[in-house]
Amino acid sequence: MLRACGFGREAAGRLREGVSKMPLDRFTVLLERSGDEYFAYVPALPGCTSGGRTQGEAIENVKEAIRLTLEYRREHGLPLPEHVEMVAEVEV
Protein backbone atom coordinates (compact mmCIF):
# COMPACT_ATOMS: atom_id res chain seq x y z
CA MET A 1 0.00 0.00 0.00
CA LEU A 2 1.28 3.43 -0.91
CA ARG A 3 0.12 6.39 1.13
CA ALA A 4 0.92 10.09 1.01
CA CYS A 5 1.43 11.83 4.31
CA GLY A 6 3.34 14.62 5.98
CA PHE A 7 5.33 14.36 9.18
CA GLY A 8 2.35 13.54 11.39
CA ARG A 9 -0.80 11.48 11.27
CA GLU A 10 -2.95 14.60 11.07
CA ALA A 11 -1.18 15.51 7.82
CA ALA A 12 -2.57 12.39 6.14
CA GLY A 13 -6.03 13.87 6.57
CA ARG A 14 -4.99 16.85 4.49
CA LEU A 15 -4.56 14.75 1.37
CA ARG A 16 -6.33 16.59 -1.39
CA GLU A 17 -6.19 17.23 -5.10
CA GLY A 18 -4.53 20.47 -6.02
CA VAL A 19 -1.30 22.38 -5.96
CA SER A 20 0.16 24.01 -2.91
CA LYS A 21 3.40 25.80 -2.19
CA MET A 22 4.93 24.50 1.00
CA PRO A 23 7.69 26.09 3.07
CA LEU A 24 11.08 24.38 2.97
CA ASP A 25 10.50 22.97 6.44
CA ARG A 26 7.54 20.85 5.26
CA PHE A 27 7.73 18.06 2.72
CA THR A 28 5.34 15.47 1.42
CA VAL A 29 6.60 12.01 2.37
CA LEU A 30 5.34 8.82 0.75
CA LEU A 31 5.30 5.69 2.91
CA GLU A 32 5.24 2.17 1.58
CA ARG A 33 4.99 -0.95 3.69
CA SER A 34 6.92 -4.00 2.61
CA GLY A 35 6.75 -6.98 4.91
CA ASP A 36 7.74 -5.87 8.39
CA GLU A 37 9.33 -2.59 7.29
CA TYR A 38 8.25 0.84 6.10
CA PHE A 39 10.03 2.80 3.41
CA ALA A 40 9.75 6.59 3.10
CA TYR A 41 10.70 8.82 0.21
CA VAL A 42 10.38 12.49 -0.65
CA PRO A 43 9.15 13.32 -4.18
CA ALA A 44 10.53 16.89 -3.99
CA LEU A 45 14.03 15.55 -3.23
CA PRO A 46 14.81 12.69 -5.64
CA GLY A 47 17.00 10.10 -3.97
CA CYS A 48 16.03 11.20 -0.46
CA THR A 49 14.79 7.98 1.12
CA SER A 50 14.86 6.15 4.41
CA GLY A 51 13.05 3.41 6.26
CA GLY A 52 12.25 1.87 9.59
CA ARG A 53 10.49 -0.95 11.40
CA THR A 54 7.47 1.28 12.16
CA GLN A 55 5.83 4.23 10.40
CA GLY A 56 7.09 6.53 13.14
CA GLU A 57 10.66 5.29 12.84
CA ALA A 58 10.58 5.65 9.05
CA ILE A 59 9.28 9.21 9.38
CA GLU A 60 11.91 10.17 11.97
CA ASN A 61 14.64 8.65 9.78
CA VAL A 62 13.43 10.43 6.64
CA LYS A 63 13.36 13.75 8.55
CA GLU A 64 17.08 13.32 9.16
CA ALA A 65 17.61 12.36 5.51
CA ILE A 66 15.80 15.57 4.45
CA ARG A 67 17.95 17.69 6.77
CA LEU A 68 21.14 16.11 5.45
CA THR A 69 20.03 16.44 1.82
CA LEU A 70 19.20 20.15 2.25
CA GLU A 71 22.47 20.75 4.11
CA TYR A 72 24.45 19.03 1.35
CA ARG A 73 22.69 21.04 -1.38
CA ARG A 74 23.35 24.33 0.43
CA GLU A 75 27.02 23.52 1.09
CA HIS A 76 27.64 22.55 -2.53
CA GLY A 77 25.67 25.38 -4.13
CA LEU A 78 23.05 23.05 -5.55
CA PRO A 79 19.54 24.39 -6.09
CA LEU A 80 16.96 23.83 -3.41
CA PRO A 81 13.65 22.42 -4.59
CA GLU A 82 10.97 24.88 -5.65
CA HIS A 83 8.76 22.73 -3.51
CA VAL A 84 5.44 22.81 -5.30
CA GLU A 85 3.66 19.59 -4.44
CA MET A 86 0.80 18.10 -6.40
CA VAL A 87 -1.12 15.39 -4.63
CA ALA A 88 -4.13 13.62 -6.08
CA GLU A 89 -6.23 10.92 -4.49
CA VAL A 90 -7.96 8.65 -7.01
CA GLU A 91 -10.71 6.12 -6.58
CA VAL A 92 -10.97 3.12 -8.91
82 DSSP assignment: -
Predicted TM-score (pTM) of this structure:
0.68
pLDDT digits (tens, 9 = 90+) for 22-52: 456 788 899 999 999 999 999 889 899 999 9
pLDDT digits (tens, 9 = 90+) for 54-79: 999 999 999 999 999 999 999 999 98
Domain 2-87 top-level CATH class: alpha beta
Mean pLDDT within 85-91? 79
Q: Helix, strand or coil for residue 74?
A: helix
**Does residue 2 have a pLDDT over 70?**
no
